[in-house]
Amino acid sequence: MFRSYVREAFVSAEEKFLQLTELLGSSEAGKMMLSEVESTINGEGRELLRLLLQGHVDDRGICDIGKSVVGSDGVVRSHKRIREREIKTLFGAVRIRRMGYSVRGADSLFPKDGFLNLPKISYSFCLQKLITEEAVRGSFEEGMKSIRRMTGITIPKRQAEKIVLSVSGDFHNFYEQKEYDMRNMHDCPLLILTMDGKGIAMRKESLRKETEKRAKANRHDMKRRLSPGEKKNSKRMAAVASVYLTDRFVRSPGDIIGELSGKTAGTGKKRPKPFEKRVWASAEHSFGTVVSEMFDEAVSKDPYREKEWVALVDGDRKQIIYLSREAEKHGVGITIICDFIHMLEYLWEAGGTFFTEYEKREEWVRERLAGVLRGKPGLTAGGMRRSATNRGLNQSERKAVDKCARYITTLASHMRYDEYLRKGYPIATGVIEGACRYLVKDRMGITGARWGLKGAEAVLKLRSLKVSGEFEDYWKFYERQEFSRNHYEKYAEPEFLMHIVT
């Protein structure tokens, strides 16, 4: 067979390739089913890829760059010695020979490690990325099983957890340096800020102090059995936030009621999509801290205050206070809107006080909803209370009515839905509730999972990047940061590594 010239470092890879082609062209292979051939190529081909990678790192030489190297600590390292290290990659383990520069009492420096941007640990960045993506997608156990099936490499769960924790470390730095293209934002007049909370089952040592106290107080409470999936006083609330731009969506109260009843298609207009949407969550930080982060993100999207700022909440008074304080701090006007769906749930519960028949209850709720949507929350709440009084209902019987009326009157200043609809503002928190589900619940709520605080925070950060469509950009940033920390900053004159930066 004709054999072309092959660089010495790649001879083993070429021999493996020839062995594989001979095998596939053999009479034995001619009797195989496609699945058998495919399985053979998958196994043998992975070894071929490993040999190609091994050949490449060998071909790069040992990187002997002179008699000595000066570290950033000013210490001259003049003792030279060739050393090896092993790196596990997507294709298997490769061994890397490189020149080391050392001196007693100081860390050794390996220029080749810098040229290749090798990680500090024995897992390549590509493999770390796969580990991270699998851990963020589902449980650590299932994720590592999946990697073993794909690559043949066994990753201990504890090692995977350490990698995820390390990878998440540049989350805040990434957003601090991120710049948005303002040219893409001129057509979106509304800047939306929205937040909610979602509980995560935690280990005892990771609960907030208030929850831990309740857990201790109720430790011996055997009055009732917990329902399936319930975890009494074992959850820590994660603050979930989102900031995005969008266009106006002008509607009328009749459009909203028609959409809810299914009797009309609403306005017939296409609902505008969120633009430059960022979603994130934190179990470690307080709601107040996350609100502050929301405003920082909003400022980065609207630095010249050209947009109309709108905040959507579920009626939580603390959230409203945090938002109001932060708006005052930044000197920005903001419209805080209470989600009308939460208000509707209160109405539905109150309607059950007057009617047990579904149709009559629905009609009663629809009429009160119309009143609130038309800008009359106070009159609507007062009318409900009068109805309960006129029917002679006692305190217990009218409890749901008073609860609903109190909710509406307390938050009436954030329920000017007639005005919001005319301006094309959103009046429901669907975006953030969806985020609570797919960002937090779908991963953190896996059956039986109990989280430590650091691990939960790391997964939330990385899952946030995935949901926001920024994981790939983040990974590039993370690798650059690792290069700087592990290599560039270690040398007094690191210019020989500049090709990595550019």
Task: Tell me the CA distances in angstroms from 101 to 64, 76, 214, 270, 357, one per residue in order.
Answer: 9, 9, 57, 65, 84
Spatial distance between the Cα atoms of 142 and 291, rounded to a whole number of angstroms? 34
**If you search the block for the tokens 């749930």, which residue do you land on?**
345
If asked whether residues 262 and 138 sit together in one domain, one would say no
One-letter amino acid for residue 382 of the chain: G
pLDDT score recorded for residue 2: 41
pLDDT score recorded for residue 6: 62
If asked whether residues 353 and 493 sit together in one domain, one would say no
Which of 21, 39, 59 is a domain's end point?
Answer: 59
If asked whether residues 242 and 320 sit together in one domain, one would say yes
pLDDT score recorded for residue 184: 65
Q: Is residue 376 part of a domain?
A: yes
**Domain total in the chain:** 4
Q: Is residue 64 part of a domain?
A: no
pLDDT score recorded for residue 431: 86
Q: Ramachandran region of residue 305, left (φ > 0), alpha (ψ -120 to 50) or beta?
A: left
If asked whether residues 78 and 19 sit together in one domain, one would say no
If asked whether residues 330 and 398 sit together in one domain, one would say no
Q: Is residue 309 part of a domain?
A: yes
If asked whether residues 350 and 331 sit together in one domain, one would say no
If asked whether residues 358 and 379 sit together in one domain, one would say yes
Spatial distance between the Cα atoms of 294 and 279, rounded to a whole number of angstroms? 10
If asked whether residues 33 and 139 sit together in one domain, one would say no
If asked whether residues 270 and 192 sit together in one domain, one would say yes
Domain that holds residue 263: 187-210+232-338+428-451
Identify the sign of the CA torsion 440, 442, 443, 447: positive
If asked whether residues 384 and 414 sit together in one domain, one would say yes
pLDDT score recorded for residue 417: 96
Q: Is residue 25 part of a domain?
A: yes
**In sequence order, what are the beta bridge partners of 96?**
85
| 304 Cα distance to chain centroid | 28
Spatial distance between the Cα atoms of 287 and 322, rounded to a whole number of angstroms? 8
Q: Is residue 456 part of a domain?
A: no
Residue 270 DSSP code: P
Q: Is residue 220 part of a domain?
A: no
Residues in contact with 56: Cβ distance below 8 Å, sequence separation at least 6, in sequence order: 9, 10
If asked whether residues 315 and 433 sit together in one domain, one would say yes
If asked whether residues 279 and 304 sit together in one domain, one would say yes
In 40-91, beta strands by DSSP E: 69-70, 76-77, 79-89
Q: Is residue 142 part of a domain?
A: yes
Q: Is residue 227 part of a domain?
A: no
User: Can you give the CATH number for the domain in which 310 is found?
Assistant: 3.30.420
Q: What is the pTM of this model?
A: 0.87
Phi, psi torsion values for 483, nearest 5 degrees? -60, -45
Residue 242 DSSP code: E
Over its length of 502 residues, how does the chain's per-residue pLDDT go in tens digits? Answer: 444 556 899 999 999 999 999 999 999 999 999 999 999 999 999 999 999 999 999 999 999 999 999 999 999 999 999 999 999 999 999 999 999 999 999 999 999 999 999 999 999 999 999 999 999 999 999 999 999 999 999 999 999 999 999 999 999 999 999 887 776 666 899 999 999 988 888 887 767 566 555 555 555 454 444 454 445 557 889 999 999 999 999 999 999 998 887 765 555 678 899 999 999 999 999 999 999 999 999 999 999 999 999 999 998 999 999 999 999 999 999 999 999 999 999 999 999 999 999 999 999 999 999 999 999 999 999 999 999 999 999 999 999 999 999 999 999 999 999 999 999 999 998 888 888 888 888 888 886 678 899 999 999 999 999 999 999 999 999 999 999 999 999 999 999 887 654 4
Spatial distance between the Cα atoms of 446 and 232, rounded to a whole number of angstroms? 17
